[in-house]
Amino acid sequence: MKVLAISGSLRSDSHNTALLRAAAEEAPAGVELELWDGLKEIPAFDEDDELDPPTAVQAFKDAVKNADAVLIATPEYNASIPGALKNALDWASRPIAANAFRNKPVSVIGASTGAFGAVWAQAELRKVLGTMGARVAEVELAVGHAHERLDDEDVRVGLRDALEALAATAQPAIAA
Amino acid sequence: MSTTIEQTAIPTGTWNADTVHSGLGFEVPYAVATFSGEVTDFDASLSDGVLKGSARTTSLQVKDESLTAHLQSPEFFDAERHAELTFVSNAIRRNGDDVEIDGDITIKGITKPATLTGTITGPAVDHFGATRVGFKLQTVVDRTQFDMKWNMPLPNGEPALSNEVTLKADLTLVQA
Contact B115, B102 (CB under 8 A): yes
Contact A36, A4 (CB under 8 A): yes
Query: Could you tell me if residue B7 is inside a domain?
Result: no
Identify the three-state secondary structure at position B162.
coil
Amino acid (1-letter code) at residue A148: E
B68, B80, B150: residue with CB nearest A130 = B150
The 10s digit of each residue's pLDDT in B137-153 is 999 999 999 999 999 98
Evaluate the CA torsion angle B143, B147, B149, B150 in order and state its sign. Answer: negative
From the number of C-beta atoms within 10 Å of its C-beta (0-12, 13-18, 19+), residue B131 rates as: middle
- B120 occurs within a structural domain: yes
Number of domains in chain B: 1
CB of A71 within 8 Å of any CB in chain B? no
> Please, what is the average pLDDT of chain B?
94
Confirm whether B96 is domain-assigned. Answer: yes
- The pLDDT assigned to A171 comes to 83
Write the DSSP assignment of A29-76 as a string of letters: TT-EEEEE--GGGPPPP-GGGSSS--HHHHHHHHHHHHSSEEEEEE--
Tell me what pLDDT residue B5 has.
52
Task: Kindly report the CATH number assigned to the domain that includes residue B89.
Answer: 2.40.128.110
What SS3 class is residue B146? helix
What residues in A contact B72, CB-CB < 8 Å? 133
Q: How many Cβ atoms sit within 10 Å of the Cβ of residue A89?
A: 26
Radius of gyration of chain B (CA): 18
What percentage of chain B reaches a pLDDT higher than 90?
91
pLDDT at A137 over 80: yes
Per-residue model confidence as pLDDT tens digits over B26-42: 999 999 999 999 999 99
Q: Which amino acid is at B98?
A: D
Predicted confidence (pLDDT) per residue in A73-130, tens digit: 999 999 999 999 999 999 999 998 899 999 999 999 999 999 999 999 999 999 999 9
Superfamily for domain range A2-175: Flavodoxin domain (3.40.50.360)
Residue B156 lies in a domain: yes
Question: So what's the ipTM on this one?
Answer: 0.80
Secondary structure (DSSP) of A117-128: TTHHHHHHHHHH
Asked if residue B101 is part of any domain, the answer here is yes
For chain A positions 88-117, those within 8 Å of chain B (CB to CB) are 96-97, 102-103
Contact A68, A33 (CB under 8 A): no
Smallest Cα distance from A19 to chain B, Å: 27
Residue B8 lies in a domain: no
Q: Do residues A75 and A112 make contact, with C-beta atoms less than 8 angstroms apart? A: yes
Q: Answer yes or no: do B74 and A135 touch at CB < 8 A.
A: yes
Contacts of B68 in chain A (CB under 8 A): 97
Pairing of strands B14-17, B164-175: antiparallel
- List pLDDT tens digits, range B56-101: 999 999 999 999 999 999 999 999 999 999 999 999 999 999 999 9
Amino acid making up residue B5 = I
Domain range spanning residue B124? 14-175
Residue B175 has pLDDT above 60, yes or no: yes
Residue in chain B nearest A130 by alpha carbon:
B75
Q: What is the spatial distance between Cα B63 and Cα B41, in angstroms, rounded to a whole number?
A: 16
**In 10 A of CB A169, how many CB atoms?**
21
Looking at residue A175, its pLDDT comes to: 44
The DSSP annotation for B54-108 comes to: EEEGGGEE-SSHHHHHHHTSTTTT-TTT--EEEEEEEEEEEETTEEEEEEEEEET
Chain-chain contact of B69 with A97 (C-beta, under 8 angstroms): yes
Q: How far is CA B96 from CA A113, B3, B15, B89, B100, in A?
A: 70, 14, 20, 19, 11
The percentage of residues in chain A with a pLDDT greater than 70, rounded to a whole number, is 97
Residue of B nearest to A93 (CA): B66
Residue B5 is assigned to a structural domain of this protein: no
Q: How confident is the model at residue A172 (pLDDT cuts 50, 70, 90)?
A: low
Do B70 and A96 lie within an 8 Å CB cutoff?
yes
Q: Which residues contact B75 (CB under 8 A, 6 or more apart)?
A: A130, A131, A133, B148, B149, B150
Q: Is residue B108 part of a domain?
A: yes
Strand partners, B39: B60
- pTM value? 0.86
Residues of A in contact with B65 (CB under 8 A): 96-97
**Domain boundaries in chain A?**
2-175
